[in-house]
Amino acid sequence: MLRDSQLKKDESLENSALTCLPSLLDTMEKEVMRHSKALLLLSCDFGTAWNARKLIVSRKLLSPMFTDELLLSALVLSYSPKSERAWSHRRWVIKMIAGKSANMQEIVERESELVKTLAENSKMNYRAWSHRCWLVSYMSDSQVLLELQSSRDWAGLHVADNSCFHYRSRLLLRMIENLRHNNDSDGFSGAEFHQKWKEELDWVGMLIKRYVGREALWLHRRFLSLVWMKHLAIDDQCGFIKDEITLSQSSTIIPDNDYGDYQAQATYSATYIMWLAKQMPMSFGVELRKSSHYEALKLFAGNVGKSCLWDSTTSIIEICDDR
C-alpha cells in the first residue's frame, strides 16, 4: 500500500513538473530576449546574443516577433550603421518571412528607404548598399524601375560612392534576368530596356564631363559599355565607337594649371580606351587610328608611363596598330 501510494505521489509530481515546464521555458525565453536586447544595445556585434534571438524566434515563428527583430536591428543600425551582425540578422528575418508575408513588396520598399536614410548619415557604407543589392532579388519589375529612377538623383550627388553605382548595376542586371525569363506581367519590353540602357550611358557620360576625375563613374561606364557591346549595340557599333572615342578625347585634355583631377580624368579615360580596345572588334582600332585622339593618346602614354596605361602583355597602342 505504501509503495503504491509513493508511486502515485511520484507520478503526480512528474505530471505537475511537465505541466509547469512550458511555462518555465516561456519565462526563460522572455528573459533571454530581454537580456540579449540590452546586450546588443551595448555591443551590437555580440554574435551569441543575435544567435540566441534567432533560435527563439525560429521556434516560435510568430509575426510580431519578426517585426520586433526588424525594429531592434533598425535601432542598432541607427547608431551603428556599419554593423555587419545587424545587417546579417535583418536579412535572416526577411528570408524567414519571405514565403509567409503577403506584403513582401512593402517590406522591400521600407528596407530600401532605410538604406537610403543610413547612407545619407554614413558615407561610403558598403554594408548598407550590399544589403540593398541583396534586396533586388525580391523586387518586382515595377519596383526595379522605380528604384532605378529614385536612386539616380542620389547617385548624381554622390559620384565618388562606388557602392551606389554598383547598386544601379545590380538593378540593370535584374532587368536583363527578367527579360530572359519573359517575365512581362508588370514589366517592360526589350525596346524599353534598350532605351533605359542608352539613357544610363548618356547620363554617366554627362556626369563624367561634369565631375572630373571620379573613378566610380568610369568603372560604371565599363559595366554599361560591356553589356551594350555584347547585347544591345548590334546595329549601331559604329555610332557607339565614335561616341566613346569622342568622350575619351574630351577627357584627356589637361588645362595649363595641371589641376590634379584633370590628370586623374585623363588617366581613367586612357585606361578605359585600353580596356575597350580589348573588348571591341577590329573596327575600333581603325576608327581610333583615324581620330586625332590617337596621337594625343600616344603622347599621353609617353608622359605618364607604362604603369598607368600598359598591362603585363601589351599596350593600347600596340592593340590598335595590330588592328
In percent, the amount of the chain with pLDDT more than 90 equals: 43
Residue 124 falls in which region: left (phi positive, over 0), alpha (psi -120 to 50) or beta: left
Residue 272 has pLDDT above 60, yes or no: yes
Residue 306 has pLDDT above 60, yes or no: no
pLDDT tens for each residue of 205-242: 999 999 999 999 999 999 999 888 877 766 566 778 78
Amino acid 319: pLDDT: 44
131 close to 122: Cβ distance less than 8 angstroms = no
Place of cell 573613378: 215
Residue 120 has pLDDT above 70, yes or no: yes
Nearest of 309, 287, 307 to residue 298 by alpha carbon = 309
- Calculate mean pLDDT across residues 20-29: 76
Amino acid 77: pLDDT: 95
The β-bridge partners of 310 are 315
Residue 136 has pLDDT above 80, yes or no: yes
Instruction: Say how far residue 214 (Cα) sits from the centre of its chain.
Output: 19
- Calculate mean pLDDT across residues 281-304: 63
Amino acid 315: pLDDT: 45
Residue 39 has pLDDT above 90, yes or no: yes
3-class SS string, 134-191? HHHHHCCHHHHHHHHHHHHHHHHHCCCCHHHHHHHHHHHHHHHHHHHCCCCCCCCCHH
- Calculate mean pLDDT across residues 1-21: 55
Cell numbers at 205, concatenated: 557620360
Nearest of 323, 313, 315 to residue 285 by alpha carbon = 323
Query: Rounded distance, CA 303 to CA 250, Å?
Result: 18
Amino acid 281: pLDDT: 66
Nearest of 158, 47, 66, 61 to residue 104 by alpha carbon = 66
Average pLDDT, the chain: 81
Amino acid 38: pLDDT: 95
Q: CB pairs under 8 A, 24+ apart, for 260-263? A: 260/213, 261/212, 261/213, 262/212, 262/213, 263/213
Torsion of CA 297, 301, 302, 305, to 10 degrees: 170
Q: Which amino acid is at 273?
A: I
Q: Kindly provide the b/e burial profile for residues 85-106, where b requires at least 16 CB atoms within 10 angstroms of the residue's own CB.
A: bbbebbebbbebbeeeeeebee
pLDDT tens for each residue of 87-99: 999 999 999 998 7
- Calculate mean pLDDT across residues 269-285: 77
Q: How confident is the model at residue 165 (pLDDT cuts 50, 70, 90)?
A: very high
Q: How confident is the model at residue 259 (pLDDT cuts 50, 70, 90)?
A: low
pLDDT tens for each residue of 40-78: 999 999 999 999 999 999 988 888 999 999 999 999 999
pLDDT tens for each residue of 177-209: 888 776 554 556 777 888 888 899 999 999 999
Query: Rounded distance, CA 291 to CA 276, Å?
Result: 16
- Calculate mean pLDDT across residues 303-319: 43
The CA distances from residue 213 to 1, 151, 160, 161, 310, in Å, are: 96, 22, 9, 13, 19
